[in-house]
Chain A
Amino acid sequence: MDAMLSGVLITLIFYAMLGTNERMDVRYAAIDSQIGFKRALLLASDSLVLTGGKPGDWDERVIGDYGLASFGLASAPNVLDYSKLARMQELNMTNYTEMRRALGLAKSNVSIEVLPLGGGGALYAFGTKPDNETTAAVFERLALLNGTTVVVRLEAG
């Protein structure tokens, strides 16, 4: 009787653990994907505020498909380039897909806003806000524009 009972209990525990493992696999795959996405967003924000993109004079060129290796807005680390910001806004309608690909966020909706520190309307805006706010991620970075501190807000999802 004892042996039967313990056998049943061990079988139940074994199946419970098996089920838990399967649920955990699914859960951790989702977490991996979310962490990978946040890492991509972090690197994209680095590219925006610390680099001028590749080629560095992309703001003076005609941008075709795969014409932009990386997308950056800075003339020096943490110093934004007025010309690149103005060009970014111009390209919003025509080169949105190419520019989010160059940011490494080709599969997501991407929104970039340059805002005054402390709040206020966007000085420059680019892209489309993510459809689903709950799965979207936001990274805020600080930079200088014409000697004034601004917030570069990158949102994707």
Chain B
Amino acid sequence: MRKGFIMSVDALVALGIVMVMLGMVLPYSKTPTYEMENRNHMQRYASDALFVMLKSGAVDAALAGNRTAVTSVLSLTSPGKCLALKAYAMPSGNLSFAAQKAGCNGIALDAVGTAADTYYNGTFYSVEMVGWLE
């Protein structure tokens, strides 16, 4: 009985040591990714898209009800990159319009984004662009 108990404790300690060693080695064996760099790139791309739309007047046109320019830029962006644009009237926070690249469903959990303010027809708007890799 006593010998069996000692053997069990022995096995448990050995298992513990093996688990600790595995725990030290396994994190290194994962395939490295460049996730952070990809996110930085996507964040820049979303920011570029937002400022291009603001400066070209596409956002103003969308606020006036004509979304053709916004939809056109979104649809022509690089394959594999998804973008979604939303504009909120301030200070109420009401959604004024939303547009998303066709074929990109929902918004990914790891999406990155940027926002800017704009003034149109007597109202301030907060415009945000969110981007993610498909």
- Complex formed: what's the CA distance from A20 to B28 in Å? 9
B117 lies within 8 A of chain A by Cβ: no
What does the 1/0 interface line of B45-68 toward A look like (CB < 8 Å)?
100110110011000000000000
The answer to whether A117 touches B77 (Cβ under 8 A) is: yes
The answer to whether A17 touches B21 (Cβ under 8 A) is: yes
Q: B34-42, B84-92, B93-101, B105-113: which one contacts chain A?
A: B34-42
Known A42-B37, A42-B40, A78-B55; contact A141-B21, beta-carbon cutoff 8 A: no
A142 to chain B, nearest CB (A): 4
The answer to whether A141 touches B37 (Cβ under 8 A) is: no
The answer to whether B48 touches A49 (Cβ under 8 A) is: yes
- Complex formed: what's the CA distance from A35 to B34 in Å? 7
Q: A64-72, A93-101, A102-110, A143-151: which one contacts chain B?
A: A143-151
The answer to whether A77 touches B51 (Cβ under 8 A) is: yes
Known A17-B25, A31-B32; contact A78-B77, beta-carbon cutoff 8 A: no
The answer to whether A46 touches B44 (Cβ under 8 A) is: yes
Q: Which residues of A contact B6 (CB under 8 A)?
A: none
Q: Which residues of B contact A90 (CB under 8 A)?
A: none
Q: Which residues of B contact A38 (CB under 8 A)?
A: 34, 37
B9 lies within 8 A of chain A by Cβ: no
- Complex formed: what's the CA distance from A143 to B55 in Å? 10
The answer to whether B56 touches A147 (Cβ under 8 A) is: yes
Q: Which residues of A contact B41 (CB under 8 A)?
A: 42, 139
- Complex formed: what's the CA distance from A35 to B55 in Å? 32
- Complex formed: what's the CA distance from A35 to B77 in Å? 25
A133 lies within 8 A of chain B by Cβ: no
- Complex formed: what's the CA distance from A39 to B38 in Å? 10
A156 lies within 8 A of chain B by Cβ: no
A140 lies within 8 A of chain B by Cβ: yes
A39 to chain B, nearest CB (A): 7
Q: Which residues of A contact B28 (CB under 8 A)?
A: 20, 24
A34 lies within 8 A of chain B by Cβ: yes
B47's closest neighbor in chain A, by CB?
A78
- Complex formed: what's the CA distance from A147 to B78 in Å? 19
What does the 1/0 interface line of A129-140 toward B look like (CB < 8 Å)?
000000000011
B58's closest neighbor in chain A, by CB?
A149
Q: Which residues of B contact A139 (CB under 8 A)?
A: 41, 44
Q: Which residues of B contact A39 (CB under 8 A)?
A: 37
- Complex formed: what's the CA distance from A37 to B36 in Å? 13
Can you add 20 more A-B contacts, CB < 8 Å, to A46-B44, A78-B55, A139-B41? Answer: A13-B21, A17-B24, A20-B28, A27-B32, A35-B34, A35-B37, A38-B37, A42-B37, A42-B44, A49-B48, A117-B73, A117-B76, A118-B76, A141-B45, A142-B48, A143-B52, A144-B56, A148-B56, A149-B56, A151-B78
